[in-house]
Structure 1
Amino acid sequence: MAVHVITGAGSGIGAAVARRLADRGDELWLWGRDAGRARELAARFPGARTLVGDLDEPERLSWALGHQSPPDRVDSLLHVAGVVELGEVGDLTPRVWQKTLAANLVAPAELTRLLLPQLRAARGHVVFVNSGAGLRASAQWSAYAASKHGLRALADALRAEEAGHGVRVTTVYPGRTATPMQEKVHRQEGREYAPERWMTADSVATTILTALDLPPGSEVTDLSVRPAG
């Protein structure tokens, strides 16, 4: 039975991935920002275990994990959680920048660092769910795109560093996906949200599982998936 640690399992892509892995009998460790969120996740995914820590405060994750009992081995660490706040560079405050970079870049780096021993023990797999914004930046997307460009760099460096330990690293770049985050983006853009125009979260989950399920000795490094049409 494979052991997976997943952030962002409360909704959208993270929830779709968690459900697919649970359905095939894998062991889930779901990350919640606080005890209340952890209880919600445990209720939603019976049999799953939870870990608690606020990704907005990556400097406290070591302390948080040190007061819990994480798994002894981790077959995959799936970084799905993220935040977005659109705005022009001239309007974005340091608080927005700091929160975006903390949640989208620094927290994944720190959580990976903390779980590297377990990943090495399992010759495991780290998956970063990035974004098309991690490949190109558009107007009003500076903070989010910067965090995702950084996430790409983190993945590339980690892959080079951990290859000798047998740890695989994959970055997935989804295009627009019908999730609560996408609904928020549409509100910020002042556009009507029509979920049927975009990919389903389950489509992205299929992409992620494809990377996870490759036989040993092979690795998907970067994978983009876009809405058709």
Structure 2
Amino acid sequence: MEEKRYESDLTRKEKRHLEWEKIKGMKWKARIGYIWEYYKPHMAVGLGIILVLCIIGQIIYRSQFETVLSVAVLNSPMGDSEGMAADFKKYLKDTDKFHEITVDSSMIFGGDGQSDYTSTMKLTTLIGAQELDVLVAPEEQFNHYTEMEAFFPMDEILTEEEKEAYGDAVTEYGIRIGNTEKLQEFQMTVGEDAYLAVFINTENVENAKSFIKYIYGGGES
């Protein structure tokens, strides 16, 4: 007499064959429901693995990028920040696809209390995280961060020849730029009292110097 075998006694190959025989005997709608219920845990594991691999791949891909200059331009919410970033990269003749230049023109001061508070929190966070190299701001905000000793002295940024070229616009910790043609080209309407300053913790001093020349409409970097 043949010994009765239970499903738990079957080999993996025999179990797969048994499952396939069950599926073949079902109608299509039943097959789909059965496959979904039976293989749902396996699918979940597979999707989880794919998701983890995608996240790891994205992290590895993003790690190749380097921000070579990050600029905050205040009071210019309608400005073309992406256009300016792309134009400055072209000005630098930087063709490295992994080099990024960012221009953030979203922060507004001098409006309502809520926008001032939100912008102050964002700007303070970016400065604290050392994620900004250059600030273009109205005189009030420039003076505020000057008092906090946030900027490089211009003596350490510009040569004597460069300071002479910019004349009286150069102050101890910044340079008065007003509404230059380059700012207007990208709808960056900071104001006639606009100043440009370089943060003391920047690691991109040379690009910051090039940005000053660029904003003034200078020639090649």
Counting strand residues as a fraction of each chain, which structure ranks higher? Answer: 1
| TM-score of the aligned structures, taking structure 2 as reference length | 0.33
| TM-score of the aligned structures, taking structure 1 as reference length | 0.32
Instruction: Select the structure of larger CA radius of gyration.
Output: 2
Counting helix residues as a fraction of each chain, which structure ranks higher? Answer: 2
